[in-house]
Amino acid sequence: MEDIPTQIQFPHLASEISAMREADQNMRKRNLDDDSWEEGLDENNTKRMKEIVHEIGWPSVSKVGADASRASWLLVQHADHDVAFQSHCLALMQELPSGEVQSRNIAFLTDRVRVNSGQPQLYGTQFKQVDGKHVPKDIEDPEHVDERRKSMGLDTLADNIALMELSYPLK
C-alpha cells in the first residue's frame, strides 16, 4: 500500500461534497423527528455527483480527502433512484487500491446495489423491520457472512444488529 499524499487534488470539490452530505444528513435527521422529507434533494445530489464523477472519476482519498471521499460514498448510497449510477460508482471504487477508498464503504454499496437489483446481500449491511425488530435483508451464504464482513473491515453481524437496536430503537 502506498502512502497517500496529504495534499488533496480537488479541495473545492471536497468542500462542495461535504456540504451536500450535510444537507443529506440534516434531512434524514429531521425525518426521524417529524417524518418530513425534502423532495428532490437526493435527486439533485445524485445529479451533481454524476457530474463530479464524470469530471474526476471516483472521489478518492487523494483526490478529495478521507472525509469527502466517505461523504461521496454516502451520497451515492442514497441514490436508490439510480441503481445504474450506484453500480457504476461501485465498479470505480473496486478498481482503486487500498488506501484510496474504505473497504467498508464498498461493502455497504455492494449490498445496496444487490438489494436494489433484487439479489441477496453479501455483507448483511441492509436491514428491514420485522415484528418490531431490525432484521438483515436476505443474505447470500449467511454462514460465512462474518468472514466476509471481517475482510472488509466491518464488525460482526451480531454487533451490527445490536447497534441498530441501540441507534434506532423501535417502539
Partner 1 sequence: MSQEEIFDQVYEKYKNIFPEMLHSSGGLPDTKGVATSDVDISLFHPNHASLAKYFPKDTKIDNSSIDRTIYKLEGYEREVNIYCTDGDWWRNAFLHRQTELALNERYPDLSNKARILKKDLGVSTEMAWAKVLDLDDTYLETLLDVEKVLDIANRVAKPTFSPKA
Pick from 49, 61, 64, 76: which binds partner 1 (CB under 8 A)? 61
Choose between 62 and 121: whose C-beta lies nearer to partner 1: 62
CA separation, residue 144 to residues 20, 64, 151 (Å): 36, 34, 11
Nearest distance from C-beta of residue 39 to partner 1, angstroms: 29
Pick from 23, 66, 74, 83: which binds partner 1 (CB under 8 A)? 66
Per DSSP, the residues of 81-99 read T-HHHHHHHHHHHHHSPTT
Closest CA to 52 of 89, 7, 90, 96: 89
Nearest distance from C-beta of residue 118 to partner 1, angstroms: 27
Closest CA to 72 of 93, 41, 103: 93
Residue 95 CB neighbour total at 10 angstroms = 11
Choose between 42 and 100: whose C-beta lies nearer to partner 1: 100
Is residue 36 near partner 1 by the rule CB under 8 A? no
Is residue 3 near partner 1 by the rule CB under 8 A? yes
Q: Which of residues 139-168 bind partner 1 (CB under 8 A)?
A: 151-153, 155-156, 158-159, 162-163, 166-167
Angle subtended at Cα 136 by Cα 23 and Cα 75, rounded to the nearest 5 degrees = 20
Is residue 17 near partner 1 by the rule CB under 8 A? no
Residue 45 CB neighbour total at 10 angstroms = 21
Choose between 51 and 155: whose C-beta lies nearer to partner 1: 155
Q: In a 3-state reduction of DSSP, which class is residue 121?
A: strand
In the block, residue with C-alpha cell 445490536: 162
Is residue 100 near partner 1 by the rule CB under 8 A? yes
Sites of contact with partner 1 (CB under 8 A): 1-4, 61, 66, 98-104, 151-153, 155-156, 158-159, 162-163, 166-167
